[in-house]
Structure 1
Amino acid sequence: MKMNTGFRCNTALISGVAATLSLALTTFTAEALDNNVQIIGNLVTEPCVLDPTTADISLTFGNLVAKFFYTTSRTPGEPFIIRLLGCDASVGKTATVTFTGTESASLPGRMVPDAGDTQGIAFGIETDDDAAQPVPLNRPSPVFELSDGTTELRLRGYVQGEPDAIANQSILTGPFTGTATFEIAYP
């Protein structure tokens, strides 16, 4: 099948122009300059390294009944650990963790489910201790003390109903996932 695009080309003319441009570009030489490449950085010592077995965290809440949120508003916390190895408390004494994700407009500091999932709920994180301090999304956590060797950052994740969805009993059911990344800082 022959196609007519409506364009006509003179290949000899195009070849001649390309050869002229090629020749013009090769007639100039680049001069080597002193210090024309500069590499700048800052080599630092971190007090700990992240245990790769705790780099990917998955929390499973199973089947949650929407009516549960209308009376209780949130699930109990599901514990998880971020483990830091080889900690040297002489290099750094504390750590914080910042979880980054899409924040809920109606529950600030908590994460909304991924697009296309259920609606009317958000995911929260708190410390796994008696104080159960909130770990707001997109902000540093409360400070964790480091100890020599292994330090475990003990946290809990939970699912919470959004206030309007609870008031209107409009939580959309179905499968849900939430995705966040975390970063460890040593202030």
Structure 2
Amino acid sequence: MRHESVHRAWPCAGLALLLTLGLMPEGYAADNLSLKGNLVEQACTIRPGDEAIVLDLWDVTSKHLYINTRTRGKGFKVHLEDCNTTIGKTVTIMLGGRENTALPGLFALDGGSGASGIGLGIETLNNKPLPLNTVSDEQVLSDGSNVIELKAYVQGEPNAIRDQTIGHGAYTVTSTFTLDYP
């Protein structure tokens, strides 16, 4: 199936290349383009349903954030199945997204969120921060099923805490996670 998709994509790319080359002045060679790739096998598969994790965080009051600056972390898991340690012995995760400028390393709220003055952070079960767009420590894999366990928390922005201006309302944060088997 993948092989057919590749062949379908090449004619379109070739046509675009030919149209571009047709606009070049004479004297430019068209044989100086080299494309290379590597098709690799993944060490694990993501359990169906874990490709898009939705985590409902509990309601938090601004008063709690003014006193404690942040909430406790709420756990979530990424389940890995059919892991084969001959392909990869470890896994890392990186959560990508838009950074909160007032709280570096934490997620900014998505546009359209009613709340304000807060960011969302991710940490390990041992309370070690996992800043967004940063690769986690390696986790050793075993053959079969494995789990990556993390926690999400809400934190007030320093100025919003100082000035007591945290805005109430619903909020969302969107992230894309990337697994790597170094």
| TM tier, smaller | 0.7 to 0.9
Instruction: Verify: 1:45 aligned to 2:31, yes or no.
Output: no
Instruction: Verify: 1:95 aligned to 2:119, yes or no.
Output: no
Instruction: Verify: 1:126 aligned to 2:123, yes or no.
Output: yes
Range with bigger deviation, 52-61 or 78-87: 52-61
- The structure that has the greater radius of gyration is 1
User: SS of the residue aligned with 1:160?
Assistant: strand
Please tell me whether the aligned partners of residues 113 and 177 of structure 1 are also in contact (alpha carbons under 8 angstroms): yes
Query: Which amino acid in 2 is paired with 1:172?
Result: G
- What CA distance in whole angstroms lies between the structure 2 residues aligned with 1:143 and 1:167? 37
Q: 1:161 aligns with which of 139, 156, 159?
A: 156
Q: 2:53 aligns with which of 51, 57, 60?
A: 57
1:28-76 alpha-carbon deviations (Å, 9 max, x no partner): xxxxxxx9x9874211122111112211111112322111100011111
Q: Which residue of 2 aligns with 1:145?
A: 140
Query: Which amino acid in 2 is paired with 1:126?
Result: E
Please tell me whether the aligned partners of residues 95 and 186 of structure 1 are also in contact (alpha carbons under 8 angstroms): yes
CA RMSD of aligned residues (A): 1.8
Please tell me whether the aligned partners of residues 133 and 142 of structure 1 are also in contact (alpha carbons under 8 angstroms): no
Aligned length, in residue pairs: 151
- What CA distance in whole angstroms lies between the structure 2 residues aligned with 1:167 and 1:142? 34
State, as a whole percentage, how many aligned pairs show the same letter. Answer: 40
Structure 1-normalised TM-score? 0.75
Q: 1:86 aligns with which of 75, 82, 85?
A: 82
